[in-house]
Amino acid sequence: MPDPATTPIPFWRESLDALTVSLASHAGGLSEEESRLRLQRTGPNLLREHARLPLVLQYLAHFRNPLVMILLAASAVSALTGEFTGSVIIWIIVFMSVTLDFVQEYRADQAAERLKQTVSVQATVLREGTQHSLPMAMLVPGDVVVLMAGALIPADCILLEARDLFVNQALLTGESWPVEKRASPQGIATEALNAASNALFMGTSVLSGFATAMVCRTGKDTVVAGIADSLIAKPPASAFERGSHSFGMLILRLTMLLVLFVFLVNALLHRPFLESFLFALALAVGLTPELLPMVITVTLSRGALRMAKRHVIVKRLAAIHDLGSMDVLCTDKTGTLTEARIRLDRHLDIDGNDSDAVLRLAYLNSHFETGLKSPLDDAILEHADIDVSAWRKIDEVPFDFERRRVSVLVDDGRQRLLVVKGAPEDILRLSVETGLPDGALQPLDDALMARVRALHDALERDGHKLLAIAWRRVAADHPHAVVDDETELVFCGFAAFIDPAKDSAAHALKALMKSHVDVKILTGDSELVTRHLCARLDLAVTGVLHGEEIDRLDDRALAARLAGVNLLCRVTPIQKNRAILALKAQGRIVGFLGDGINDAPSLHSADVGISVDSAVDVAKAAADIVLMKHELGVLHDGVLEGRRTFINIMKYIMMGTSSNFGNMFSMAGATLFLPFLPMLPTQILANNLLYDLSELPIPMDRVDVSQLAHPRHWDTRFIRNFMWTLGPVSSVFDFLTFFLLLAVFHADERLFHTGWFVESIATQVLVIFVIRTRGSPLVSKPSRALAASSIAVVLIAALLPATPLGAPLGFVPPPPLFYLALAAMVLVYLAAAEAVKRFFYRRLAASTRS
């Protein structure tokens, strides 16, 4: 237990004056020089400072691969027994392979990190009285920050000023209801965190209002840092992670079985133990796609760089795969399908006539509102310049997504009014009269209500988004506005807004659906408004589900209903999240595009969370992918790039699990009848290194347009079946090579090793031109880099036996006639591989149709 005498007093208990002195701060903030010095002392404002290891240690970490460590240990034993040449060659090959892996992965990691920094969450900080936007990690104790609705709290802070400030601190307390915060110059005498109404805590978020606050604790000293491990649960494995794990287990099982078989056969044939052990170990290296982590990292990083050129920033690399796998996109309509240039078109009374009095009440509400302001508020304030200097604000009930309305209590010296605006159905439900503050009132009876609803429906059918305006007169000494005041209202009319459809949205919707991505619109707007927009975009409506219906459905019923609808109208953020989880339960790969304060849960729940650069901090922090342009066309480009990236990863995997495995199976089988090892350990490693070199340009390879037409998913069963179908073809030609070498060329051990080394490299490497496309390799053109590297590696392997390196590796120059026979065999092998590949895809297509 900590000693009470040494336990620091919670900062919210101290007075503002005491904190200002102890932190050597003031209302205008710190100077740049002082903040720099403090940052050096306190370190970055991060929960965990992921300090990068020095490059030397990062490089050495690549030797932690168990196979590499065993191989080096066995090489050392080999040197101790006098096999110096073989030992040195193994060391050289391992060193080259590890260096290659390190350089490629390091460069890819650096590129990905630079991209993530471009969309890092920023904080608004006062430095010497001037506002600056800085990364949250740059904050230090004593900084003064400015906070508005949608902002993440960047550190533990004490409030200097607060206006109608409501905060979501469910992260710390588990309480989902907004908590009101107020400045308290004298501090608050409580130890309880949830009672600290003058303090803000890192990781929580502002729902509404405005505040300035002084940073008291940063990074590892914050409250959330102390309980970070219990709060930050590991997210469920993504589809990409599940697929790669499943593939890894398949490779592990095959490798263990094959290596044990080879080692047992060599032992039964009484071959030297060390040589047999090194051969089995080298075989394991050849079987293991050890470049796969590097290929995945480099391919995803290159994909992220290409997406950045298309104005799509990837924060989590694996999200590229998830974006390519996405088969349903859930999106709001404002700003995505519409221009987000909302303007106030009309302000009408219940008779449908334009009314300045309705506009004045709407203006009063928007002008004095300090909570979560929307583009509708901006449109009201920009529509006209109304003098409200005679009015003063008394209090406010901020907007929330459950009530869907906002109220301000105002007074002009003659009367005190509660002015309310919000969703029409909610305002009308709470209204009992109709009229204006300076006019006669009449009961809102059934006949009048029918007229109002008819006007409402007519406006929505024309594509207007509506806010209802209402008011209520209260006593002159009424000091505060509370939710309970929003009753017995006087309805006065509608504010009608226009947000035109985007010209590019119709084309983008068609492109997404042509790419087999279903689009579902999740909106808080009404069905009539949304149907009008869909008609403008030429989007067929397959079905509509309303928020109130969602509340009546359990999860299974909701999942069933979602299959036939593409419009979800009048939905709250909670209902959006339920819909996304229901779609995932059906096995769909779900993307969610959101930019609002309460979109964070849905962004977390979706397989790929997508936001925009102009989104609030909470949404941007929760997203996996950030669009620098708020339009679906950019997102469609990202979907295609995700598919292209995943297809290139699959090329390496399919190549490694077919031709490469076929060669290794041949090697294992050859041990049964050959009086010597079919290939020396050093030769296997050299073969593996050259093969890896030929694969490096795969991330840059072209992808057939036809392969981009459908979502791409990691399918281990598909990989396994492809391996079992194409792998035997490679093995058949390996055994033909064995026959040719032994029966025609009467090869001894060294010539056999040489001939098969050259043949195995040629077949393993050149088959990429067959595997890389589902179509004809004569039509689908590879990238120049891949073509050049593949041909260069085959030439190096063919010429290697005649170079000074040939003899130390155990090679001898083969007769010229062998190369002619090899060329013929490789051509026949590639033709056979193409025929088997086509048979495999035809059978796959037939089984898919059935």
- Write the CATH number for 366: 3.40.1110.10
Q: What range does the domain containing 464 cover?
A: 353-372+390-493
Of 454, 477, 493, which residue sits at a domain end? Answer: 493
Q: Are residues 486 and 618 in the same domain?
A: no
Q: Is the pLDDT of residue 312 over 90?
A: no
Q: Which tokens in the block code for residue 181?
A: 């915060």
pLDDT band at 7 (very low <50, low <70, confident <90, very high): very low
Q: Are residues 832 and 744 in the same domain?
A: yes
| pLDDT computed for residue 244 by the predictor | 66
At 44-83, the pLDDT tens digits run 888 765 555 677 777 777 676 655 665 566 566 556 555 5
At 351-398, the pLDDT tens digits run 899 999 999 999 999 999 876 667 888 899 999 889 999 999 998 888
| pLDDT computed for residue 267 by the predictor | 73
- What does the alpha-carbon distance between residue 567 and residue 684 come to, in Å, rounded to a whole number? 59
785 part of a folded domain: yes
Q: Are residues 684 and 740 in the same domain?
A: yes
Q: Are residues 518 and 425 in the same domain?
A: no
Higher local confidence (pLDDT), 372 or 427: 427
Q: Are residues 555 and 587 in the same domain?
A: yes
Q: Are residues 535 and 575 in the same domain?
A: yes
Q: Are residues 476 and 529 in the same domain?
A: no
Q: Is the pLDDT of residue 463 over 50?
A: yes
Q: What percent of the chain has pLDDT over 90?
A: 33
pLDDT band at 427 (very low <50, low <70, confident <90, very high): very high
Q: How far is CA 527 from CA 454, 520, 531, 565, in A?
A: 15, 13, 6, 12
Say which amino acid occupies 113: E
Contacts of 411 (CB under 8 A, 6+ apart): 391, 392, 394, 417, 476
300 part of a folded domain: yes
For the chain, how many residues are written?
Answer: 850
- What does the alpha-carbon distance between residue 553 and residue 572 come to, in Å, rounded to a whole number? 15
The average confidence (pLDDT) of the chain is 83
Active site (annotated) includes residue 351: no
460 part of a folded domain: yes
Q: Are residues 785 and 818 in the same domain?
A: yes
Q: Is the pLDDT of residue 336 over 80?
A: no
Say which amino acid occupies 652: Y
Instruction: Please state the domain count of the chain.
Output: 3
Q: Are residues 489 and 516 in the same domain?
A: no
368 part of a folded domain: yes
Q: Rg of the Cα trace of the chain?
A: 34
708 touches 644 (CB < 8 A): yes
691 part of a folded domain: yes
pLDDT band at 432 (very low <50, low <70, confident <90, very high): very high
Q: Are residues 509 and 361 in the same domain?
A: no
The CATH number given to whatever domain includes residue 580 is: 3.40.50.1000
Q: Are residues 510 and 648 in the same domain?
A: no
544 part of a folded domain: yes
708 part of a folded domain: yes
Least confident of 253-267, 635-649, 682-696, 777-791: 253-267
Of 579, 608, 628, which residue sits at a domain end? Answer: 628
Q: Is the pLDDT of residue 6 over 60?
A: no
Q: Are residues 605 and 667 in the same domain?
A: no
Q: Which residue has the tokens 């050093």?
A: 682
Q: Which tokens in the block code for residue 361?
A: 């009440």
| pLDDT computed for residue 263 by the predictor | 73
At 10-48, the pLDDT tens digits run 899 999 989 999 999 888 889 989 999 999 998 888 876
Q: What is the DSSP secondary structure assignment for residue 708, as one 8-state letter?
A: G
Higher local confidence (pLDDT), 610 or 658: 610
At 493-542, the pLDDT tens digits run 999 998 888 888 889 899 999 999 999 999 888 888 889 889 888 889 99
Report the Cα 651 to chain-centroid distance in Å.
23
Of 576, 598, 628, which residue sits at a domain end? Answer: 628
Least confident of 142-156, 163-177, 226-240, 597-611: 226-240
Q: Is the pLDDT of residue 90 over 70?
A: no
15 part of a folded domain: no
The CATH number given to whatever domain includes residue 798 is: 1.20.1110.10
Catalytic residue among 101, 143, 164, 332: 332
| pLDDT computed for residue 233 by the predictor | 46
| pLDDT computed for residue 78 by the predictor | 58
Q: Is the pLDDT of residue 792 over 80?
A: yes
Q: Angle between the 749-766 and 784-799 helix axes, to the nearest 10 degrees?
A: 170
